[in-house]
Amino acid sequence: MIGEIVLVILLGVTAVRLYKNAYKKPANFPPGPPSLPVYGAYWLVLAKAYNNLAAACIKFSNEYKSKVIGMILGTIPVVVVNDPYLLKEVLNREEFDGRMDIILGRLRSYWKKLGIFFTDGYFWHVQRRFTLRYMRDYGFGRRDESLESTVAHEVKEMIDMATNGPKYPAENDLVKGDQIYLPHFFAVPFMNGLMHVFTRACVPRQDYHILWTTARGALRFQRSSNDFGAALSFTPWLKDFLPEFSGYKGLKEGNQCILDLFTKIIKEALDTHDSSFNRHFLDVYISKMKEEMAEKKRTTYSVDQLALVCTDYMFPTASALQSVLSLLIERLLLHPEVQDKIHEEIDRVIGRDRLPTIDDRSNMPYTEACLREIMRIETLVPLGVPHRAMVDTKLDGYNIPEGSMVSLNYVTLHMNKEIWGDPENFRPERFIVNGRLQLSQDKSLPFGAGRRLCAGETYARQALFQVFAAFMQAFQVSTIDGKPYKQLAPRIQGIITTIPNFWIRVTPRK
């Protein structure tokens, strides 16, 4: 009898503690779901929309009638901004420029805090400024004939592969008769363009399998976690006991593909480095690193950091850009009339005797509008890369404690009816006024904004146009069985939004 009483008391005390912890939050913190043991509110977020955290956060925003929701994930205060105007405010306030020090960032950088994506403060400022300053000299972030020529060469190889069939064994995985395998078919032009910036050289066609292996690894990394990365961030021991289930194995092995690539390339650059002459960006970085080391300065430059700089720029290049084009091709299958309009514009502006160039962008508003529309309607990184509040501050009247994770729900901007009218419809014409592309009509932010703006925006937009326009100039796309495409494929919501890999039929245009 006494034992039963003690048990009831213990259960009662535990229930009270759980209840108090469930609603324990910082003072004047934004409203949001209560916390449960271990992962806090993460359980409830998953319950709302397991495979779409952005949608779950919108549901909570509506439920609590607040543009900003607050919750505890594990032990970390997390704020999710679900309003397009507050979102832009956060992007332009320096106190929100921090990055979270989470396992997702550490596991990809030798368990150190390195690179550009997941660093902040003085280290991030120095490294980002230096890389953008000197990568620009080799064509990154500006118009550059040498870089454009490199991408054009890789596009020709891509078209030849699809038109005339595989030339090397690895190509058989991506081309079978008149069919191509997406998204990896598109990877090489984007990746070799960036390789040109880093090394002034490209991976030759007989070695494309190196780039495809890297692209597969990058996409595997992107699909192995979600926007919050909560399972590993708050229970890191899962990596040792449940490496597959927790996503750790996919993250680690996917990331290692890119690190292996650049470890070899950087070693070659170090072995052949001549301080009297810089051949490419890697030489510029190595020269700066050796200079600071010789002066025995407290430096932010190192071989490991250079590997992570290259990795940070290559990750979206190897995974996001090929995914954007695959999402766009899927829309063309669903809306064949859009494909017809693209072909009409290409034939009228360029013809068939030359490849599209960057100069053609301004004269091809519909093709460019299709690229902008797919990046609006398919928010590639729905909650963005998480920010961190670097000081105690306020947002929309609420207290945001220092160290809080701040996630920006870009879906609330890209699917806002007040801004777009019919956001659920794929309608490239929304960006065109009187036959011309009107950038003022594009309120989307697929690359973010403010000081954390994606450094690769210019390169990405130029390369996407160059690759897509050339591909559509060469081919008509259709389903492999020739039947109408009825509905969109289910989305894979990892760190970025993707769809399952798929085959399409390409018919050379005559």
What does the pLDDT look like over 420-469, one tens digit per residue? 999 999 999 999 999 999 988 899 999 999 999 998 999 999 999 999 99
Q: How confident is residue 12, by pLDDT bands cut at 50, 70 and 90?
A: low
> What's at 188, amino acid-wise?
V
Q: Rounded CA gap, 446 and 384, in Å?
A: 9
Task: State residue 19's pLDDT score.
Answer: 44
Residue pair 151/463 in contact by the 8 Å Cβ criterion: yes
Task: State residue 21's pLDDT score.
Answer: 53
> What's at 469, amino acid-wise?
A
Return the percentage of the chain with pLDDT > 90, whole number.
72
Average pLDDT rounded to a whole number, residues 94-108: 87
Q: Rounded CA gap, 1 and 6, in Å?
A: 9
Does pLDDT of 68 surpass 90? yes
The residues near 473 (Cβ < 8 Å, ≥ 6 apart) are: 346, 350, 352, 355, 356, 509
> What's at 43, amino acid-wise?
W
The conformation of residue 115, written as its DSSP 8-state character, comes to S
Closest CA to 115 of 309, 289, 310: 309
Does pLDDT of 14 surpass 50? no
Return the percentage of the chain with pLDDT > 70, whole number.
95
The residues near 435 (Cβ < 8 Å, ≥ 6 apart) are: 365
**What stretches of 105-229 adopt beta strand conformation (E)?**
175-176, 179-182
Task: State residue 250's pLDDT score.
Answer: 84
Does pLDDT of 146 surpass 60? yes
Residue pair 217/187 in contact by the 8 Å Cβ criterion: no
pLDDT digits (tens, 9 = 90+) for 325-384: 999 999 999 999 999 999 999 999 999 899 999 999 999 999 999 999 999 999 999 999
Task: State residue 150's pLDDT score.
Answer: 95
pLDDT digits (tens, 9 = 90+) for 323-341: 999 999 999 999 999 999 9
Average pLDDT rounded to a whole number, residues 180-197: 96
Q: How confident is residue 494, by pLDDT bands cut at 50, 70 and 90?
A: confident
Does pLDDT of 7 surpass 60? no
Task: State residue 16's pLDDT score.
Answer: 45
Does pLDDT of 230 surpass 70? no
Does pLDDT of 128 surpass 70? yes
Average pLDDT rounded to a whole number, residues 143-162: 95
Task: State residue 239's pLDDT score.
Answer: 79
Report the first-to-last Cα separation within the chain, whole angstroms: 90
Q: Coil, strand or helix: which one is 493?
A: strand
Q: Which of 13-22, 184-193, 250-259, 284-293 has the lowest mean pLDDT?
A: 13-22
Which residue ranges make up each domain of the chain?
14-508
Q: Is 454 annotated as a binding residue?
A: yes
CATH of domain 14-508: 1.10.630.10
